[in-house]
Structure 1
Amino acid sequence: MIGDVDVPVIPLAQSPVCAADPYPGLARLRELAPMVRVQTTFMGEVWLVTRYDLARELLADLRFSRRRPDDSPVAAVDSDPPDHTRIRRLVGKAFTRNRVERLRTWVQGLVDGMLDEIAGAGPVDLLDRFAYPLPIAVICEMLGAAETDRADVRRRTEKILAGEVAENREEVYDRTKEYIVDLIAAKRRQPGDDLMSALIAARDGDSTLTEPELIELGIALIAAGYATTTNLIGNGIHALLTNPGQLALLHAQPDLIDSAVEEFLRYESSFSAAGQIAKEDVDVEGIVVRAGEVVLISFCGANRDPARFEHPDRLDITRSPNPHLAFSHGIHHCLGAPLARMEAQVAIGTLVRRFPHATLAGPTRWRENIMRGLLELPVDLKGRGLE
């Protein structure tokens, strides 16, 4: 039955959406109601979903859209069908698993070089020296950008990790767009064996990607490829260093790295939540979501739901199955998931193999925004810790 019910509204100060430690608050809200109204700094008042089964259902519900009414009219990967279907098909022809796997050996060499540079140092911030530069180097290589462009790409995009502050989004968008426009022009003049050249050449019958669509995709690939993977690597390393038994297990059984990465994705998702906008009035378990209202799917909440995951607050790198929602679900499942997984497997697996006694070398702080990641990650690779 569609009808209004009494739903609690949680003020911003009590909302766990972007808290440094959101999990106790999310657990309380999960018990309170299927959805609650919460105040956010970046979307105003929204519906918040913390249950796994409901989150998975709504992520696949085509009565909701990923796009705000004021978003660019250019079709992109967050569009609705039929534009979404056409673009995903074209991107899928270029962004293949084989293309990602061909980079694995190159990524291994890059990781080895980065770790060589810091191996003899004292305590080092692994975010700044490892988790930041690695994904930037990889996405630049994949897009066919010059090695000398990496510092420029980082400068243009680093505010992505500041979250959903409007001025940050606009600045990152404008600065990244300038770079992508120039890169597309260069690849049109001189195509290569890279993702941007493949996107320019991708065809599906008479359908190709338009210039505005190529620009939007390039921006999305850099933004998603950088921010989410930086957080995945940083969060994964932090999870191991704060769970020494799991670190020892991974060192003893390095073949657990694939399973470990899936657990890092579940345990500390790189995005804390994703918004879905109702295209019509929708009845969600007796609660009416009006057309235009936002439903915020909490990945942190869903991935710690005890109804789906046994001992959800425990890091378990042997967890199987592990159907986390860190890469979303449904038609908007992350295209870059294979790339993020591969980078994390190589980066964290190599770090553990080379520095099995690494310890935290100082306090860490979590970003309090939609991006679930650390502000710093001081580590003593030789294991002296906080002495």
Structure 2
Amino acid sequence: MAARAANDDLVFGMSTALTGPAAELGRNMKQGVEAAMAEANAQGGIRGRQLRLIALDDGYEPDRTAPNMRYLIDNQHVLAIVGNVGTPTAVVAAPIAMRKRTLLFGAFTGAGVLRKNPPVRYVINYRASYAEETGAMVDSLVEQFGLQPQQIAFFTQRDAYGDAGYIGGVQALERHGLPDEARVAHGRYQRNTVAVENALADILMASEPVRAVIMVGAYEPCAAFIRMAKDSGLEAKYLSVSFVGPEPLAEALGAVGDGVIVTQVVPHYDSDSTIVKRYHTALERWDPDARPSFGSLEGYLSMQVLLAGLRTIEGPLDREAIVESLENLGDFDIGLREPLSFSPQDHQASHQVWPTVIRDGRVCPVEWTDLFAEEVRP
């Protein structure tokens, strides 16, 4: 049998954080995408063609993302960009993808910049938005934990990522009767640093007592903030969006992390759903030393959604065909037990948010009602 030519592969690109403070997030996402590709390749690929990923490191810095995107699209001729990590990098990546008519798919960010209405043709998402994550937090804090909107503060990264989570959270607070955004305590820190002291001071000096802090940041500064806040006597609930990386956050916090809530946009990796069981098998085959994580599960699920689109293509497997295949999926199921849907008017497959809580260094699944029922209100 003649050897398969490498140029017959279906090649996809990724610009992600493989070094720096967000490196674990990038490595996990890459691991999940590659595990899904390896699983598909073992089953014959797509119409007999193997899938391959070219991943470049951008260190979670936008000025490195732009040249990566151009190199992947212009020099490596990738069919699509998959699984990029981060909002500040997405702000740079999305316009390049649009100009070059190349799909930016399944980015590890819930930012609104990738969720235009009507949607941009070349930007398609798997995960729920940050607005949906922070909205779920606010709804539960107000409706089940009994807080007033002005008792909820925000600790965010000073960039598009932090702003996306903050804006979504404030919109949720306004739905619950927040009279004035100026009454919301808001501390910010600089990306790729752990200089959180000023942010904490802004929250501690709030005119009203803070009883919950919603965090939109990376795991190292969030861990530093929680430690300092508790040392300062701030008795509050601490909640974070999924991008934080719950496992590294739990590891960084140790015993101090008990009770910290992290929303997820994928089910817990201990779930017994069909697709999660497949993920465990695929991950172990791809890397026997890999530990399951929410990040790699998101990468795996995102790639499964893309594969669902690829398998419907009957003509040439090119950039435009991939976009059209996803837009035409309609309602579909990958074994997640949750509804997924795409259309030309809807470029986000999932809107589901799952809460988890850190207990004894582990990230545990929980229901909002059970979580707050067992808590003593501050």
Return the TM-score normalized by structure 1: 0.26
In terms of fraction of residues, the more helix-rich structure is 1
Q: Which has the higher contact order (CA 8 A, sep 6+)?
A: 1
In terms of fraction of residues, the more strand-rich structure is 2
Return the TM-score normalized by structure 2: 0.26
